[in-house]
């Protein structure tokens, strides 16, 4: 079961004016499973996107990038997203691109826009042809299902190996108007930046310029989806999309130094944070949620490198699974994180607030019973002080269990 991830309460997921969602069952992998999600967006909305850096990026990622570029060039706004689970349409060559385009074209003719105004998303098995005809066949059903209150259903419909749906919502006041920010995400394995095997969608009815929405999304992504790891595998399909419909009635945000910008950015970050952490809490086989805080670095990048070295170490992760305070493995990971002039004698390592290591060795006053008490918890923080600068970074990860192997050895069967 996911680590401390409360079930979604659909009543707490506020609809976003100008966004409607319809779900259908295309039978891509399993008959009857809701696997196709259509998100219709009001005309004139701003849309921004961040995508995987994997060179084997999937066909839908390429089409998304192309269509977003066209949107920036022409101002013809994005009107729909189509998301399927069960097949990633990655490693599928020209055929995969053609099938993603067919889905865009069919959606466009269904909704009355152009194919370039549709963004496609896929998640699931790699290297298998996408049954695009099945998805196209259920687009009318998805359209008939369109509703502003389908966020919780969509959070379920985009899952793959996820156990729990991931969604959250918040409201703020901008310019005297109530503004909603609601987001959903999926992801559980192949989770490592840039980014995770994740799809994320956050929508707001705030009015904001496209350039600032993109900037806000990048910042929010870095501190959320680009700060998590489950297994160190960067996916082919990662996408995080922000939609701002502008229907809340606030004056359009065009100044990055304004307080409205700061307020909205904080709300987007809060939603992104929650979703990214939810992915780790639901990491394949996870039994522990681990926060790695690295402080005192000479650069942000080196703090993150130390966090990731720890967060992706199978030895660290299996020790956490066993609740075994085998903390030398943490030191070893710090040591190979790539900081060539690291003075290990300066480093302090704490489990929660228990000082474990100092001056390059074990804290003489540390008792294993203290470490054991922390390790027995479901939520653990590893706090590293490098004592060589003022930068800090946080990475979230989970432990590595038998179930991780089981899930990934059995995934296709």
Backbone angles phi, psi at 146, to 5 degrees: -55, 130
Interacting residues with its own copies between 331 and 370 (CB under 8 A)? 331-336, 339-340, 342, 344-345, 357, 359-362
CB of 103 to its own copies, least distance (A): 17
Q: Positive or negative CA dihedral for 66, 72, 76, 80?
A: positive
Asked if 249 touches its own copies (CB under 8 A), the answer is no
57 makes contact with its own copies (CB under 8 A): yes
Is residue 186 a known part of a binding site? yes
Is 413 annotated to bind a ligand? Reply is yes
How many of the other CB atoms lie within 10 Å of CB of 108?
17
The 186-205 contact track toward its own copies, x by CB under 8 A, reads ---xx-x-------------
| Contact pick of 55, 112, 353, 369 for its own copies (by CB under 8 A) | 55
CA distance 353 to 44: 50
Contact between 70 and 104 (Cβ < 8 Å): no
Q: Judge contact between 27 and 19, C-beta under 8 A.
A: no
In the chain, how long is the greatest CA-to-CA distance?
71
Q: How many Å apart are CA 59 and CA 97, to the nearest integer?
A: 5
Residue that has been written with the tokens 């004016």 in this structure: 17
Please return the burial class of 27, using the count of CB atoms within 10 Å of its CB with bins 0-12, 13-18 and 19+. Answer: middle
Q: Give the one residue of 94, 112, 353, 369 binding its own copies; rule: CB under 8 A.
A: 94
- Answer yes or no whether residue 43 interacts with its own copies by CB under 8 A: no
Is residue 54 within the footprint of its own copies (CB under 8 A)?
A: yes
Per annotation, catalytic residue among 85, 197, 204, 234: 197
Q: Is 387 annotated as contributing to ligand binding?
A: no
In the list 249, 296, 328, 389, the residue contacting its own copies (rule: CB under 8 A) is 328
Tokens of 161: 């190996």
Q: Are 118 and 4 in contact (CB under 8 A)?
A: no
β-partners of residue 244 are 46, 204
| CA pair distance 142, 121, nearest whole angstrom | 15
Contacts of residue 354, Cβ cutoff 8 Å, sequence gap at least 6: 366, 370, 371, 373, 374
**Interface of this chain with its own copies, residues 127 to 146, rule: CB under 8 A:** 127-129
- 344/225 Cα distance (integer angstroms): 29
Q: How far apart are the first and last CA of the chain?
A: 21
Binding track over 283-322 against its own copies, x by CB under 8 A: -----------------------------xxxx--xx-xx
Cβ 37 vs Cβ 157: under 8 Å: yes
Out of 20, 231, 269, 282, which residue is the one contacting its own copies (CB under 8 A)?
A: 231
- C-alpha–C-alpha distance, residues 324 and 318, integer Å: 9
Q: Has 170 been annotated as catalytic?
A: no
> Which span sits near its own copies by CB under 8 A: 49-57, 114-122, 242-250, 274-282?
49-57
Torsion of CA 69, 74, 75, 78, to 10 degrees: -50
Q: How far is the CB of 321 from its own copies (least distance, A)?
A: 5
Q: How far is the CB of 89 from its own copies (least distance, A)?
A: 10
Q: Which is nearer to its own copies, 6 or 94 (CB)?
A: 94
Give the integer Cα–Cα distance in Å for 74 and 51.
21
Sign of CA pseudo-dihedral 312, 165, 52, 236 = positive
Q: Are 184 and 155 in contact (CB under 8 A)?
A: yes
Stretch that binds its own copies, among 104-112, 294-302, 327-335, 376-384 (CB under 8 A): 327-335
Which C-beta is closer to its own copies: that of 95 or that of 255? 95
Q: Which of 235, 245, 277, 370 binds its own copies (CB under 8 A)?
A: 235
> From the CB of 116, what's the least distance to its own copies, in Å?
22
Convert residues 391-410 into a mask of x (bound to its own copies by CB under 8 A) and - (unbound): ---------xxx-xxx-xxx
Size of the site for its own copies (CB under 8 A): 68
Tell me the window of 125-133, 147-155, 244-252, 291-299 that interacts with its own copies (CB under 8 A).
125-133
Binding-site members are 160, 186, 197, 284, 408, 413
**Binding region for its own copies (CB under 8 A):** 53-57, 88, 90-96, 125-129, 189-190, 192, 231-236, 312-315, 318-319, 321-322, 324, 326-329, 331-336, 339-340, 342, 344-345, 357, 359-362, 400-402, 404-406, 408-413
Please identify every residue annotated as catalytic. 197
Binding-site members for substrate are 160, 186, 197, 284, 408, 413
């Amino acid at each position: 079961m996911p680590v401390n991830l409360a079930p979604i309460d659909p009543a707490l997921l506020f609809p976003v004016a100008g966004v409607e969602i319809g779900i259908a069952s295309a039978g891509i992998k399993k008959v009857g499973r809701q696997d196709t999600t259509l998100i219709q967006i009001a005309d004139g909305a701003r849309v921004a996107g961040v995508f995987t850096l994997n060179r084997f990026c999937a066909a839908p990622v390429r089409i998304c990038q192309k269509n977003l570029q066209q949107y920036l060039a022409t101002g013809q706004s994005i009107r729909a997203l189509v998301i399927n689970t069960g097949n990633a349409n990655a490693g599928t060559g020209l055929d995969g691109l053609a099938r993603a385009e067919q889905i865009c074209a069919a959606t466009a003719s269904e909704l009355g826009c152009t194919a370039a105004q549709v963004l496609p998303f896929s998640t699931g098995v790699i290297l298998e042809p996408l049954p695009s005809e099945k998805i196209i066949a259920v687009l009318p059903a998805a359209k008939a299902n369109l509703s502003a209150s389908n966020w919780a259903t969509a959070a379920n419909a985009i899952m793959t190996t996820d156990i729990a749906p991931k969604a959250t919502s918040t409201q703020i006041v901008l310019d005297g108007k109530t503004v909603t920010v609601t987001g959903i995400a999926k992801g559980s394995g192949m989770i490592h930046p840039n980014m995770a095997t994740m799809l994320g969608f956050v929508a707001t009815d705030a009015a904001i310029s496209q350039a600032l929405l993109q900037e806000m999304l990048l910042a929010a992504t870095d501190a959320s989806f680009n700060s998590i790891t489950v297994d160190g595998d960067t996916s082919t399909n990662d996408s995080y999309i922000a939609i701002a419909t502008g229907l809340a009635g606030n004056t359009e945000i065009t100044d990055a130094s304004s307080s409205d910008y700061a307020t909205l950015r904080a709300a987007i970050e809060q939603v992104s944070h929650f979703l990214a952490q939810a992915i780790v809490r639901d990491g394949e086989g996870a039994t522990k949620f681990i926060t790695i805080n690295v402080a005192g670095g000479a650069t942000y990048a080196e703090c993150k490198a130390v966090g990731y070295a720890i967060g992706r170490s199978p030895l660290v992760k299996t020790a956490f699974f066993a609740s075994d305070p085998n903390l030398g493995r943490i030191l070893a990971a710090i040591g190979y994180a790539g900081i060539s002039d690291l003075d290990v004698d300066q480093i302090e390592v704490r489990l929660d607030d228990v000082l474990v290591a100092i001056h390059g060795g074990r804290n003489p006053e540390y008792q294993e019973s203290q470490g054991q008490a922390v390790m027995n918890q479901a939520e653990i923080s590893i706090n590293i002080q490098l004592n060589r600068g003022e930068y800090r970074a946080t990475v979230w990860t989970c432990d590595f269990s038998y179930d991780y192997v089981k899930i990934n050895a059995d995934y296709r069967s």
